[in-house]
Amino acid sequence: MNLAEILEKREVNHYRVQKPYFIAEAGVNHEGSIDLAKRLINEAAEGGAHAIKFQTYKAETLASKNSPSYWDTTKESTRSQFELFKKYDKFWKSEYELLKRACDESGIEFLSTPFDVESARFLNDLMDVFKVSSSDLNNLPFIEELCNYNKPILLSTGAAYLWEIQRTVELIENNGNALGLMHCVLNYPTLNKNANLGMIKDLQHKFPRQIIGYSDHTLPNDMDVCLHASILGAEIIEKHFTFDKTLEGNDHYHAMDVYDLKNFNSKVDSLFTTLGSFEKKPLETENVSRLNARRSLVAKNSISKGKIIEYNDLTWKRPGNGIGPEYIKSLIGMQSLLDIDEDTVLQFNMFRK
């Protein structure tokens, strides 16, 4: 199932946890190199990601020249948004067409977040879903442009009040687009204590018709933040992805790598093995316990043939291969068809009405 199919499904069940669809957020960690971008694609596929997502923009249409930073400047020293974005805005239509083909060859879904109308126009031919950044949640005219493509939209909700999310959701729903919402904290990096994964449950409650996911900016460490988001029911997980976490600057310092991604998928597999079924019923492995550890009605004393059964004739003991104790009222008043020894496990064929 690709991302569009997930977002378009009409039966949302927030009480059932399932393995998440994982997006490796490459962003611009390719640093303007097609070879590095292809490496990111291959390693994301190797790590088990379902999709890899890039970011498509031109600095001139994204930020004014006096836009201040909002990231950890001890990790990324550039203090101007315009200057940082200008470093990494070299890819455009032809480059993303190459990357789309590379994704198809690697068996991974291609995505890229557009940050302007022109990039959205050519990306429309390359992907089935539009991702909207938290920073554009209130950019209603741009979102309305995206709605015109009649494709599902995945909307990040970092740094947003509930009323802002509701306003944007209403706009998208009124245009008829399928929609998913991503809990997100707009800090780079996000401290674990600030991840506020509980907000996933609030989004599920407030937007019961929407698929809810989680876009993560914490340090990868043991990947347990993403695992915990999965347990809470995040159906889509997105996390920054790099080929080398030791590189300085940009989004490398808070990104996962292929080994982190493999670690996450191993943990998810183990988790869902433990979670097992979401339908409460006896397991085949419990059959012997169900039979032998439950109780049956047992003759409390000797019962002679023809006796009308009374409450004081009965007790309940293991195993459970006789008349269940829940049927005691049905047995009282019936007549014994034979002599029954004390401590006999009782069966209905020993009696008649």
The CA–CA distances, whole Å, from 297 to 284, 326, 329, 338, 344 equal 24, 9, 11, 16, 9
Average pLDDT over residues 116-143: 97
In the structure encoding, which two tokens stand for residue 188, read together?
Answer: 């780079």
Number of domains in the chain: 2
Residues 208 and 296 in one domain: no
Query: Is residue 280 in some structural domain?
Result: no
Residue 10: pLDDT band with limits 50, 70, 90: low
- Per cent of the chain over pLDDT 90 is 84
Residues 290 and 269 in one domain: no
Residue 158: pLDDT band with limits 50, 70, 90: very high
Find the helix or strand (DSSP H, E) in which 96 lies.
helix 93-106
Question: Residue 76: pLDDT above 90?
Answer: no
Query: Is residue 165 in some structural domain?
Result: yes
pLDDT for position 44: 98
CA 19 – CA 352 distance, rounded (Å)? 54
Q: Domain span at residue 328? A: 285-352
Q: Which of 228-237, 272-281, 326-335 has the lowest mean pLDDT?
A: 272-281
More confident residue, 82 or 189: 189
Quote the mean pLDDT of the chain. Answer: 94
Residues 148 and 289 in one domain: no
The CA–CA distances, whole Å, from 293 to 118, 283, 320, 343 equal 69, 15, 7, 17
CA 94 – CA 110 distance, rounded (Å)? 14
Find the helix or strand (DSSP H, E) in which 137 lies.
none
CATH code, domain with 100: 3.20.20.70
Is this structure's pTM higher than 0.75?
yes
CATH code, domain with 334: 3.90.1210.10
Average pLDDT over residues 110-135: 97
Query: Is residue 302 in some structural domain?
Result: yes
